[in-house]
Structure 1
Amino acid sequence: MSNFIVGVTGGVASGKSEVTRRFEQLGVFIADADVAAREAVAVGSPGLTEVVEVFGSGVLDGSGALDRVAMRARVFHDEPARRRLEAIIHPRVRASMQAQCATAAGAYAMAAIPLLTEGGREAYPWLDRVLVVDVHIDVQRARLMRRDDIDAELANRMIAAQATRDARLGIADDVIVNDGPLDALAGHIAALDRRYRRLAEEKKTARSG
């Protein structure tokens, strides 16, 4: 069981997925908030039942699953509705990720949470540390345009819709600057892996003492 949990976050196109993939190659368990969010409203789940109770059966597709396009359209310009939806999904996501990490094998585990800054670190009191994957906004914009085949205006709007770079850095215990080639990540990740294993051992020793 992992007694040390690291939250991983970063802006869109910062390279979070590549960073967590490389930690996974080192044997680190990764709990993914996006996967947990899908599972929270899977067919037959209490989460989906509550969504239907609040928003009606019109948010379901023909198979009885959540129609994500319809749901997004429903809450996009309706702030109270978005908050009601988040109140259903987010607690389930947090509980699922915490349980997955706590029962994972290995010295430590990681929780990949794209909107950690937006939700507030205080919503995740079980995180021992937060790792921010940081990238300069010019690099971020260029990557986003290339990745999604979009223009600069749309890329800027997508970046602006998230927390600011400064806000993310403000909650960070550790930072990986991912402005360069992917090969540059290896040394940073190896060093952080050693640090997290040491901190996990120190926490374990302190608890047993």
Structure 2
Amino acid sequence: MANFIVGLTGGIGSGKTTIANQFSELGIELVDADIIAREVVEQGTTGLSQIISHYGMDILDSSGKLDRTKLRSKVFDDEQERQWLNNLLHPLIRKQMLAAVKNANSPYVIMVVPLLFENGLDSLVNTTLVVDIPPHEQVARTAKRDGVNSTQVEKIINRQISRKLRLSKADAVIDNTLPLEEVRKTVQLLHSSYLDQASTA
């Protein structure tokens, strides 16, 4: 089991996955909250059956899987529904993430969590790493990637903690507007530092 956990986070569209994959190339195992969030609502899970009993069968697509777009539209502007869903899913995600960390074999683990600080999951990690880009770039990158309009992206950004607060909570920051080579160098330096810290953890 890896005793040392790095919590990697950043605003939407900041390039968390790209950075996480660079650590993965260095042999470090990733525990990705977004992937686990999908796993806890797969067919046959407690998560999905509770969502069905709350919203009814029409929350499913034609193949019997959760229709994420429908679910998103039900909770996006309804604080009460969003709270209900979070209360259901967060404990399930947290439990599965910790199990994945326990089974990891690399010297340390990167936990990729978009809402690391918002959901208090920084309490589970030894150190935090923030991937940072300016808000106007977040909007442009996400709108292009997801094929959505900038207003929708801005709404999502406003749901997350402010850039200033996120940076103030970070133990380390990667400026993802720098050239790729610079970013790779930073990852390499952080990797060496995390190996050192993990060996004494």
Aligned to 2:141: 143
Mean Cα displacement is larger for which, 151-160 or 19-28?
Answer: 151-160
Tell me if the contact between 2:48 and 2:66 (Cα under 8 Å) persists in the aligned partners: yes
- Cα shift at 1:54: 2.4
**Cα shift readout 1:20-52 (whole Å, capped 9, x = no counterpart):** 010000000001111101100100011111222
- Cα shift at 1:57: 2.3
Task: Indicate the SS of the match to 2:178.
Answer: coil
- Cα shift at 1:142: 4.0
Q: Give the 3 Å change call, closer, same or farther, for CA 188–151 of structure 1 in structure 2.
A: same
Tell me if the contact between 1:94 and 1:124 (Cα under 8 Å) persists in the aligned partners: no
- Cα shift at 1:55: 2.5
Structure 1 spans left out of the alignment, 5+ residues: 204-209
Aligned to 2:158: 160
- Cα shift at 1:62: 2.6
Q: Give the 3 Å change call, closer, same or farther, for CA 144–38 of structure 1 in structure 2.
A: closer
Aligned to 1:97: 97
- Does residue 70 (structure 1) correspond to residue 79 (structure 2)? The answer is no
**C-alpha separation between the residues in 1 aligned to 2:50 and 2:65?**
13
**C-alpha separation between the residues in 1 aligned to 2:50 and 2:156?**
30
Tell me if the contact between 1:31 and 1:97 (Cα under 8 Å) persists in the aligned partners: yes
**Cα shift readout 1:149-176 (whole Å, capped 9, x = no counterpart):** 6665555444334221012112211111
Structure 2 spans left out of the alignment, 5+ residues: none
**Percent of aligned positions that are identical:** 38
Tell me if the contact between 2:122 and 2:128 (Cα under 8 Å) persists in the aligned partners: no
Aligned to 2:127: 129
Aligned to 1:110: 110
1:16 partner letter: K
Task: Indicate the SS of the match to 2:161.
Answer: coil
**C-alpha separation between the residues in 1 aligned to 2:142 and 2:67?**
26
* Number of aligned residue pairs: 201
TM-score (norm 2): 0.90
Tell me if the contact between 1:28 and 1:109 (Cα under 8 Å) persists in the aligned partners: yes
Q: Give the 3 Å change call, closer, same or farther, for CA 49–124 of structure 1 in structure 2.
A: farther
Choose 1 or 2 for highest CA Rg. 1
Q: Give the 3 Å change call, closer, same or farther, for CA 149–181 of structure 1 in structure 2.
A: farther
Tell me if the contact between 2:40 and 2:48 (Cα under 8 Å) persists in the aligned partners: yes
Task: Indicate the SS of the match to 2:107.
Answer: coil
TM-score (norm 1): 0.87
Task: Indicate the SS of the match to 2:36.
Answer: helix
- Cα shift at 1:145: 4.8
